[in-house]
Structure 1
Amino acid sequence: MDKTKYAWETGEVLKGIGVVEQNILNIGTVLAVARENVSMFPKIVQSQNVVREVLTLIQSLDIERKFKHFMSEEFEMLFSSIPTNALVKILMNTEQFLKEFLVSELFEEVIKHLGMGSRDLLTTPNSISEIANHYLIEGTLSKTTFHDGTAGYGSTAIMFAKKAENVHLALQERNILAATVLSLRLFLQETKADVAVDDIIQNPVYVVGGKLEQFDRVFMAPPFGLRLTEEQQMDMKHDPFNRFIYGIPPRSQGDLTFLSCGLSATKVDGKAAFLLPAGVLFRGGPEKEIRQRLIDFDVIESVVALPSLLQPYTGMKTVLLLCNKNKPSNRKGKILMVNAESFSINNKREITIPKEKIVQINDIISSGKEVEEVSRFVHNEEIQLGQLTPEKYIYKAETQVSEFGTISIDMDELNRVPTKALSELVDFYRGYNASTKDEDENGEYAVLKISDIQDGEVHLDKLTRYSIMNNAKIDNNRIQQGDVLLSVRGINRKVALFTSDREDVLMSQNFAGMRCGQSLHSRFLQLYLESPIAQFYFDKHTSGTTVMTLSMKDLKDLPVPVLPLEDQLKIVDAFEAEQRKITEELALLTKRQKELKLEVYAAMGIDKALIIQ
């Protein structure tokens, strides 16, 4: 007998009747009743009112009253509206399977099996819980307090309680259905905990003497993509518990709200872990300021970039932020970056982190081990613009180039090359933010778009024209002959040299324009920007959630080889002379290839039937 079969068979009985979360709750309710009354099930199924018998037993369970009330309401609403035979099947199936399995084992399988079929049910994957708990359990005392303000179904909290000795769980969850399922899990696993139902942002429940209760360990895996209201932001500015000392998140990206709530509930010598979308590590605006303040307070001990798709139905990249308010002396002033994005396997049913990789990650975090292409310490002063993405500091020294395939970069050799920052060699200008409402085929200006550049050449014949009324600063966007153009938005970096003498062409906002100074030849710069070295640099400095972007700061910092101008000219002249020769030879070969095919057609006797236009 397989416990997966129980989850499948029981789920099939309710398939198409209720939503997944309600079905999980109702099956959990049956299992809770069965924990102490399974011997009564054969008698119950033969009674005149099966639903009423089960409802009576629900009231006798040692579960908090508000949760029993919600269980009873949901149970009666479902099973009073469908044939009694459905409930009978579930009861008898449960009675059979409990001869071989524990109630807690069956419920865990139900959550796993039914949850995989729901796009709305996002539980914390076990692999992430294991990594977070390994970090949190280290250094715990004989008696430990644990808090999760967005507990959901409580996977991480329950795992923590199993591994830590003498722990008190203080959990909060705003959704009554999720909180009730959590209470059922705790009950079935015989784990004691306080479970409050409320919004952690609006009303943190664990307050003592008008102050937030402080916990040894805190974990939160909040729902992603929180959007704040103007009222919520105003409340944060006047928060009675001063939870938002790191800053107020933007209205459209409120994920760091939960980090502030969690850290404010962490003891001065406590640790906390947060599962968040990767965007919190690199987005600008208020989030950048919050990250910088976290760095200044030196509370981030490690950032772990996780593989994609660990949670079904979402391709969003996620990270673990591991925080310590009392970092050991050998870790102060630095952050351990861990890039575990490639540490996943696909076992057909789901994508997971294999056990050996979890062990490796835990070992790296515990021992502070630096592993090539996986982990390294980054000193706080090394971090610019609050950028905390591990891949910015840890990466494979290789890049993909269409002409050559995969190219490995010898970083030691590269570092020996004398260079200057691009900002010392060129003047930069930005593109014009063109609007479709200004398009006019008789307009005064033409705007160059990314699609107008092909194979390093600017195609001027099909440029979109615009009428621009407010053109006071239009000269700032006007392209001049000899300018080098680089696309900075999108996945690929396109490079082109503007050779035309036209004065009516502007650059779109998707480009950065570069006007070379006296010490840099524009064609030399174009060749360098097209090189695998520059492309490797661009790959490692491009970031974004919806649109990948190379920042102007990173572009200005690009190292460019320092050569005398006369040497640059020699390189360019030699390249272009050889390039012209190759082009001519290719044209001759192409012509000969056509002639050869015509000879073949003649030999076949079909040439006279062909009329080549």
Structure 2
Amino acid sequence: MNEKINNKLWSIANKLRGSGVSPEQFLHVICMVLYVGHEDKEVLRKLMLADKEELLTAIAKVQVDQPTKIIGLADEDLLAAIPTNVLVEVYDLVKYLDPQEDAEFLEELMSQMQQNAGKRGSILDDFPQTGKLMMELAAPTPQEKIYDPYFRTGIRYSELLAANPDQQIYAQEPNQLAYVAGQVRSYLRQAGNVQVLHQDVLQEKLSPKINGVVDLTLASPPMHRRMRPEDLDKERYRFGKPSSIVDWAYVMSGLDVLNDTGRAIFNLSNSAVFRGNIDAEIREKIVSADLIEAVIALPDERKVASGVPRVLVLFRMHKTSHQGQVLMINARHLSKKKFDFSQAVHQQIKQILEQGQEKEGVSAWVNNETITKNNGILVPDQYIEQDVFKLSPDLKIRLNREKIGQVPMLELGQVAELYRGFNVTSSDEEPDGSYGLIKISDLAGGKINYAQLARTNGKANTRVENYQVQKGDVLLPIRGELRAAVVVTEAHPNVLLTQNIIGVRPIEGKLDSQWLVEYLNSPVGRALLSGISVGTMIKQIPLQQLKKLAILPNQTQAVADYREKKDGLEEQLRQIQLQMEQAKNEFYQASGIGELFEKSN
């Protein structure tokens, strides 16, 4: 878009904004004018002298000759809100465009709108850089039929349709304006084989004629969209009725249309690949069916509506190699920069995929059985061993994996019983309740603050004894930032653990509590815990992974020696602090300050 046209375009947009017209409505107006003027710019010159309503008539005339009608393009209410003089300026702007420039003009406008929207979001492609990567990885051939269950404006297909306007694409899009803009863009590209239906894939299935004929599904469904369970048709989804967060409903809809050799790429939130319960069961079934080819943890993308970590999940209906395995890739480790979606990173991802590379700290092949035993979790870092961990702003360590492999290690679940905390909310708390509640905030400084515990009478039909802490238990916070584990050093009856803490009860003779807490709080223990953490904005440690945590056997004597030295040093420190306090008080008396105040309770 040349500078003169660009300046005029945004001048018009500013005038419309002053009239209360949104950027999205401005895009709709541009789409209407481009549509009627594409084949004959003379029409726009005539419209400049006609009433505003003539634009609706002109749209209807063009639609008569088109095989597909764009529902809602002619928006009477929107047109009424546009000042006539501003509409004339739009006509004047578009009439000077060469018809060959119309599509590029619209796509450039949508691209700029996407950049300007940033975290506010828009009806355009929410993740443009991810969309570009998806297209590069998919590399569709001209003969392949593509399906997109959440098309938006289809801007990710711009380069594809510029090179091959005859590409066959089936799509659905629930947003009215996104549908309109996408259809107009296809019309300007003369992409007659792009068939977009204005509908919600989770409410309306594609025609049965499409099922089994699609070669490639590409989709970036809305993050964390929710639906009521009763609104989801359980008979429709082959791997089970999805949860109320419907990421996997989109995935199953996209897989259903593929032919026997079809493939798919989905851009999903990180939480979609580790959530438990129903979603975990669906993932396990899909993994067991050997349909997942690779999972790629993506770098963060600038200026997008959602900052949650995301993954690309690559599916293939019939694998010709690496059957029974999934290639896990953490593309976040391909660059030291936080926002690095560069072409160099793209090329590295493609190389790892094409060559099936196992790259230290970046990629690894994982057996399907390993994944299904791990609750179907598809987070790459769960399976790619990391060596370098930043445990705090001042502490960064590198694990010696070779040395770790040489020393005898135990799985935590073999030498201890692990139990979950009591799922309690503030509404379950009662000041005079029979039971104390240990929350993460009650664990500080290596101790449990029993005096400040909230209280409860429990819940009906709840066996509170399952959550009661015992002397010798090690309490480990499992939600949020890594926090120190704490050992229960004395018996406190009727005290319960809450849901964000895991209780570890060492088996007598197999594991010492004091050794375990020192190990978990050591740099090695914290690094290993960090390595099994999952989550998007808030990290969590899965119970099943914690059971498999590698720990060194008891070092009872080493702990006893350390504790003795530590206790002695802490006593010395206490004495020094008392001496400092005494010296300060003597200074106050000698200087006269002490006569000006007295301590009070």
What band does the TM-score fall into relative to the shorter chain? 0.7 to 0.9
The residue aligned with 2:222 is: 223
Q: Matches of 1:521 and 1:30 in 2, distance apart?
A: 76
**What is the TM-score with the length of structure 1 in the denominator?**
0.86
Q: Deviations over 1:68-91 (max 9, x none)?
A: 56222x1x4333334311112222
1:570 to 540, 557, 573: 557
* Partner SS state of residue 492, structure 2: coil
Q: Kindly state the Cα deviation for residue 105 of structure 1 after the two structures are TM-superposed.
A: 2.1
Change (3 A) 1:121 1:597: farther
1:247 to 234, 240, 243: 240
**What is the TM-score with the length of structure 2 in the denominator?**
0.88
Q: Matches of 2:510 and 2:173 in 1, distance apart?
A: 63
What pairs with 1:481-496 in structure 2 (closer than 5 Å)? 481-496=471-486
The residue aligned with 2:533 is: 542
* Partner SS state of residue 81, structure 2: coil
The residue aligned with 1:26 is: 29
The residue aligned with 1:555 is: 546
For structure 1, list consecutive stretches of 5 or more residues without a partner in the other structure: none
The residue aligned with 2:297 is: 305
What pairs with 1:256-405 in structure 2 (closer than 5 Å)? 256-309=248-301, 312-329=304-321, 331-341=322-332, 353-383=341-371, 384-394=374-384, 396-402=386-392, 405=395
The residue aligned with 2:170 is: 170
Moved more, 402-411 or 21-30: 402-411
* Partner SS state of residue 315, structure 2: strand
2:524 to 525, 529, 533: 533
The residue aligned with 1:134 is: 136
CA contact (8 A) 2:382 2:533 kept: no
Q: Matches of 1:433 and 1:219 in 2, distance apart?
A: 39
Q: Deviations over 1:302-340 (max 9, x none)?
A: 1112234556221232221111122222x2221111212
Change (3 A) 1:322 1:436: closer
User: Is the counterpart of residue 198 in structure 1 residue 189 in structure 2?
Assistant: no
The residue aligned with 1:207 is: 208
* Partner SS state of residue 461, structure 1: helix
* Partner SS state of residue 328, structure 2: strand
The residue aligned with 1:445 is: 435
The number of aligned residues is: 589
Change (3 A) 1:301 1:6: farther
* Partner SS state of residue 377, structure 1: strand
User: Is the counterpart of residue 510 in structure 1 residue 500 in structure 2?
Assistant: yes
Change (3 A) 1:122 1:88: closer
- Residue type at the aligned position of 2:573: L
User: Is the counterpart of residue 478 in structure 1 residue 465 in structure 2?
Assistant: no
The residue aligned with 1:61 is: 62
The residue aligned with 2:510 is: 519
Q: Kindly state the Cα deviation for residue 476 of structure 1 after the two structures are TM-superposed.
A: 3.0
Q: Matches of 2:166 and 2:83 in 1, distance apart?
A: 46
Q: Kindly state the Cα deviation for residue 202 of structure 1 after the two structures are TM-superposed.
A: 3.9
The residue aligned with 1:87 is: 87
Q: Kindly state the Cα deviation for residue 33 of structure 1 after the two structures are TM-superposed.
A: 3.2
* Partner SS state of residue 41, structure 2: helix
Q: Kindly state the Cα deviation for residue 519 of structure 1 after the two structures are TM-superposed.
A: 2.8
* Partner SS state of residue 558, structure 2: helix
Change (3 A) 1:156 1:527: same
CA contact (8 A) 1:431 1:513 kept: yes
Q: Kindly state the Cα deviation for residue 354 of structure 1 after the two structures are TM-superposed.
A: 1.6
CA contact (8 A) 1:10 1:93 kept: no
CA contact (8 A) 1:337 1:393 kept: yes
Change (3 A) 1:411 1:4: farther
- Residue type at the aligned position of 2:257: A
Q: Kindly state the Cα deviation for residue 185 of structure 1 after the two structures are TM-superposed.
A: 0.8
Q: Matches of 2:148 and 2:501 in 1, distance apart?
A: 45
* Partner SS state of residue 269, structure 1: strand
CA contact (8 A) 2:126 2:304 kept: no
Q: Matches of 2:262 and 2:393 in 1, distance apart?
A: 52
The two structures, once aligned, show a CA RMSD in angstroms of 3.2
Change (3 A) 1:602 1:34: farther
* Partner SS state of residue 51, structure 1: coil
For structure 2, list consecutive stretches of 5 or more residues without a partner in the other structure: none
Moved more, 475-484 or 450-459: 475-484
* Partner SS state of residue 584, structure 1: helix
* Partner SS state of residue 207, structure 1: coil
Q: Matches of 1:574 and 1:79 in 2, distance apart?
A: 82
CA contact (8 A) 1:278 1:319 kept: yes
CA contact (8 A) 2:533 2:540 kept: yes
CA contact (8 A) 1:31 1:94 kept: yes
Change (3 A) 1:186 1:164: closer
Moved more, 59-68 or 124-133: 59-68
